[in-house]
Chain A
Amino acid sequence: MKILFVFLEDGGSVFKRSYGGLTLSKKVAAIEGEIKLQYNHNAITTLTNCNPLNQACLKMGAAKTMNRKISVILMLAGLVMLAAGFARGEAEQVLAKAIRICLECIGIG
């Protein structure tokens, strides 16, 4: 999990925000608001490849990052299922079926 630091101009407070989903764009909305902030431009740009004031870019970047995570998790789940199937001996069961002529496939049933 990456942490985004935003430095407030008035009190020197520090926001610590986890970077994930669309939360970042909300932070940037705050930056754009009444409070004048000094923000770590380089950090935001490095994280998202976006101008921190470009909300559409931030939203899309965050969504893409989330999508990439989902697809990687799904691929890992697929690998785990594949391994579990092997462990349960399903490959042998598939082989036992596949080496016999499938009468259903031919249309004899």
Chain B
Amino acid sequence: MNNLQLNAGRRLTQLASALLANSYLAGFVNRTIYQGKVKQLCVPFLNCYSCPGAVAACPVGSLQSLLASPTPRLSFYVLGLITLAGAAAGRLVCGWLCPFGLIQELLAKLGLKKYSLPRPLTWLKYPTLILTVTLPVVWIGQNGLGAPYFCQYLCPAGTLEAGLLLGLGRPELRALLGSLFTWKLTILVIFLVATVFLYRPFCQTACPLGALYGLFNPVSLWRLEVAAGRCNYCCACRKSCPLDIPVYHRPNSPDCIRCLACTKACPNGALTFSAAGRAGAREATPALRGPEAF
């Protein structure tokens, strides 16, 4: 499989995932949301459950809703799903399944040159993750309950998928729109404009789910491995990486969304994405010199 085939395969997978997760077409026509029992299932990626087409629940929204309920509880159901997906393949979900990631990637094609984000900005997603989990419990409103504050104040996917389609599409909801909607729309526009100049800026700086999956990257079952004996530090992997990660040095960086472009860019085939340890220890061994070599 060459790089073009890999990119085409990834794009098709992203499209299939986005269509499957938002396959309730009647919702788009009637400006309603799906209310079937399938919606008790969570998808492992960010996909607003108030999108008219959504047939499954968003893990971040669900996690926060349960934390903000009258009897707050940390959802084992959602965390279990995230742990399972993360331990299996880390941020592969971000790179191959997330619809909002796909939207950002498609918009990115408008820009000619992509700039790298200063590294400290990429750390912002961790405070976002902490606040996403803690605020619904500690910030109690006048009604005595918390709220899904990430969805309320930050999530641009919710604004795009639910706010624009339902908020503007239904007259009774449109009448309620105010400063909060303006704030959320501003956030959405900032991220979409930034997408033209930066690669997936929301994923890099603010996505709590990406931050959580990123923590699994170094310990996931399927991961990138560098056969150091084959690597000649030509940096072809880094040049091919849209996130400018030095893959030869940090193959399982928490920032890596596992688009796997680097595996095809390496002229020596030093990079493999495989189940941990399956690529063969001998392959991953630094080159030996002298009598130790065999």
Contact = CB atoms under 8 A, between A and B. Distances in A.
Interface of A: 48-51, 53-54, 56-58, 60-61, 64-65, 67-68, 70-72, 74-75, 77-86, 88, 90-95, 97-99, 101-109
B187 to A, nearest CB: 10
B77 to A, nearest CB: 3
Interface stretch (B102-110, B113-121, B151-159): B151-159
Contact of A81 (B73, B79, B166, B280): B79
A79 B176 CA distance: 41
B276 A67 contact: yes
B268 interface: no
B167 interface: yes
Given A67-B276, A97-B61, A82 B76 contact: yes
Interface in B16-67: 33-35, 37, 39-42, 48-50, 54, 56-58, 61-62, 65-66
Given A98-B39, A106-B163, A91 B173 contact: no
B173 A71 contact: no
A75 B151 contact: no
A48 to B, nearest CB: 6
B281 A107 contact: no
Contacts, number: 205
Contacts of A51: 294
B162 interface: yes
A71 B87 contact: yes
B235 interface: no
B286 interface: yes
Contact of A54 (B159, B177, B285): B285
B77 A90 contact: yes
Interface of B: 33-35, 37, 39-42, 48-50, 54, 56-58, 61-62, 65-66, 69, 73, 75-88, 147-148, 151-152, 155, 158-159, 162-163, 166-167, 173, 176-178, 180-181, 183-185, 216, 218-221, 223, 275-277, 280-282, 284-286, 288, 292, 294
Contacts of A56: 285-286, 288
Contacts of A79: 80, 84
Contact of A49 (B35, B65, B282): B282
A101 to B, nearest CB: 5
A68 B276 contact: yes
Nearest to A91: B40
A77 B81 CA distance: 10
A88 B77 CA distance: 9
B173 A99 contact: no
Given A82-B77, A90-B66, A102 B173 contact: no
B219 A74 contact: yes
5 contacts: A67-B223, A85-B80, A104-B151, A105-B163, A107-B180
A82 B80 CA distance: 4
A46 to B, nearest CB: 12
A82 B147 contact: no
A51 B82 CA distance: 39
Given A67-B277, A86-B77, A90-B76, A74 B83 contact: yes
B88 to A, nearest CB: 6
Contacts of A68: 221, 275-277
A57 B282 contact: yes
Given A68-B276, A74-B83, 12 more contacts: A56-B286, A64-B277, A68-B275, A75-B83, A75-B221, A78-B85, A94-B39, A97-B49, A104-B147, A106-B158, A106-B173, A107-B167
